[in-house]
């Protein structure tokens, strides 16, 4: 992971792999997170100390993230091909329950979807972020933030406002090997 100083590991509905990675010497700092499936769509919790249950209402999941000192990150908020929040993203932002909006996702082919997310972040004055959405090693670093170093969630949020978003579209890796025969 040359050139990467910090990775946010946000597996779907679990924190175990992120916790394990944080305990290993990977040559990078690890932010423990979780991509939480809510009733309205996906929400990411960053800087978590424990797993957040899934299939809760998005506002309740956001409150549980915040209760443990974490940050609420809205991934791919308008991607029609995934479990995205759609209109609920705006509701979370207007209720003050979102901290960060992902404005570039490397798995989103239609850049107008990322642009719509950027408009949402700007409208609510929220910092923009980028996600590789890596489901395979080759996807790591497809999108990243060049930003000043930070110590903890509050400083991360402050430094995020100075970040430069960089990324390129990369199609999804196949989830299962094709059967031959």
The pTM (predicted TM-score) of the whole model is 0.92
Residue-level pLDDT at 112:
96
Q: What CATH topology corresponds to 6-167?
A: TIM Barrel (3.20.20)
Least confident of 10-14, 83-87, 140-144: 140-144
pLDDT at 173: 59
Query: pLDDT tens, 54-72?
Result: 999 999 999 999 999 999 9
Residue showing tokens 């579209």 = 169
Query: CA separation (Å) from 13 to 20, 37, 53, 56, 175?
Result: 15, 7, 7, 11, 17
Per-residue pLDDT reduced to its tens digit, 98-122: 999 999 999 999 999 999 999 999 9
**Biggest alpha carbon–alpha carbon distance for the chain:** 54
């Amino acid at each position: 992971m040359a050139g990467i100083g910090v990775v946010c590991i946000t597996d779907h509905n679990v924190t175990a792999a992120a916790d394990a990675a944080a305990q290993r010497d990977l040559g990078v700092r690890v932010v423990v997170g979780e991509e939480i499936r809510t009733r309205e769509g996906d929400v990411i919790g960053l800087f978590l100390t424990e797993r957040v249950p899934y299939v809760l209402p998005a506002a309740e999941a956001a409150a549980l993230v915040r209760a443990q000192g974490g940050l609420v990150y809205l991934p791919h908020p308008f991607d029609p091909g995934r479990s995205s929040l759609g209109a609920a993203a705006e509701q979370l932002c207007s209720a003050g329950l979102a901290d960060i909006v992902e404005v570039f996702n490397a798995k989103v082919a239609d850049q107008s979807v990322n642009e719509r997310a950027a408009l949402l972040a700007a409208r609510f004055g929220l910092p923009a972020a980028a996600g590789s959405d890596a489901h395979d090693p080759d996807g790591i670093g497809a999108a990243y933030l060049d930003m000043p170093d930070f110590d903890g969630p509050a400083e991360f949020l402050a430094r995020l406002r100075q970040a430069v978003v960089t990324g390129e579209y990369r199609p999804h890796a196949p989830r299962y090997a094709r059967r031959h025969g």
